[in-house]
Amino acid sequence: MFELFGVSLGWRDILDISIVTVILYRVILLVRGTRAVSVVYGLLLLVLFYFISEALGLYTLNWLLANFLGSIFLVVVILFQQDIRKALSVVGAGRFWRRDSVHEEVLNQLVAAMVALAKGRIGALVVIEKSVPLGDVTERGVVLGAKVSKDLLMTIFYPSTPLHDGAVIIKDDEITAAACILPLSTGMTHRSDLGTRHRAALGITEETDAVAVIVSEERGEMSVAINGRLTASLDEVRLKRVLRNAMER
């Protein structure tokens, strides 16, 4: 036992605080950059209004907020059902505590292929699997089990090949499948500038922690989808940096 700022702490208290701190840190990493962050800010603002209304004697407002916050756990489950499902999938995959990575050579081959496809205005969609397994997606495609290379990716997405229409799945530095059909995002239907590839990339990254790379055949533009958010108009350097950072989270 020892004292810190007048508070006695034992080894159990330190262990308890450390575990909670690590869990909260990992949860923050999971929701960082997602729409859940805005909802968290909104809930914190309501809690602040609750204490202010109580201090100022605003009884009606305080009563309304008290009843709302009394069902906070139900509200959280409803608002964050998609994020909770994704987090549980990550934990169930057994890789909650581990960072994902991709070999530099694989990253170089992928980026080189995307740049070449963008210059030729050839559409492409590549999904990099992370913690959440994409077995149900690869089963609906054509299983390859091939080494990642620029030439193979360009061949797959060449318009006259049978596998060009669909997504390529990369797992553990290997192309596991091609011509895979992905779920479409339902939250971006009002964006007329987004084609099917972009909506599919957003859809798979909303439901899983995968990273999707898109090449637009209309604009010859490279984009990356992460956690249901799209980063567009990337050049070769920025694309590599975004992918490296996303895989190291």
Percent of the chain at pLDDT exceeding 70: 79
Residue 118: closest CA among 45, 189, 221: 221
The residue-averaged pLDDT of 217-245 equals: 92
The mean-pLDDT minimum among 55-59, 190-194, 221-225 falls in 190-194
pLDDT class of 16 with cuts at 50, 70, 90: confident
On the question of pLDDT at 146 being above 80, the answer is yes
The predicted pLDDT at position 97 comes to 47
- Range 95-116 average pLDDT: 78
Mean pLDDT across the chain, nearest whole number? 83
pLDDT reported for residue 237: 95
166 — phi, psi (to 5°)? Answer: 145, -175
Mean pLDDT, residues 119-131 taken together: 93
What CATH number does domain 104-247 carry, 3.40.250.10, 2.40.240.10, 3.40.1700.10, 1.10.10.10? 3.40.1700.10
pLDDT tier for residue 12 given thresholds of 50, 70 and 90:
confident
**Three-class SS string for the chain?**
CEEECCEEECHHHHHHHHHHHHHHHHHHHHHCCCCHHHHHHHHHHHHHHHHHHHHHCCHHHHHHHHHHHHCHHHHHHHHCHHHHHHHHHHHHCCCCCCCCCCCHHHHHHHHHHHHHHHHCCCCEEEEECCCCCCHHHHCCCEEEEEECCHHHHHHHHCCCCCCCCCEEEEECCEEEEEEECCCCCCCCCCCCCCCHHHHHHHHHHHHCCCEEEEECCCCCCEEEEECCEEEEEECHHHHHHHHHHHHCC
pLDDT at position 34, please?
55
Q: What is the pLDDT of residues 17-42, one digit of tens each?
A: 888 888 777 776 666 655 566 677 77
Summarize pLDDT for 76-104 with one digit per residue, the tens: 777 666 666 656 665 555 554 454 556 88
CA R_g for the chain: 22
pLDDT at 182: 93
Q: Where in the chain is the domain with CATH 3.40.1700.10?
A: 104-247
Contacts of 25 (CB under 8 A, 6+ apart): none
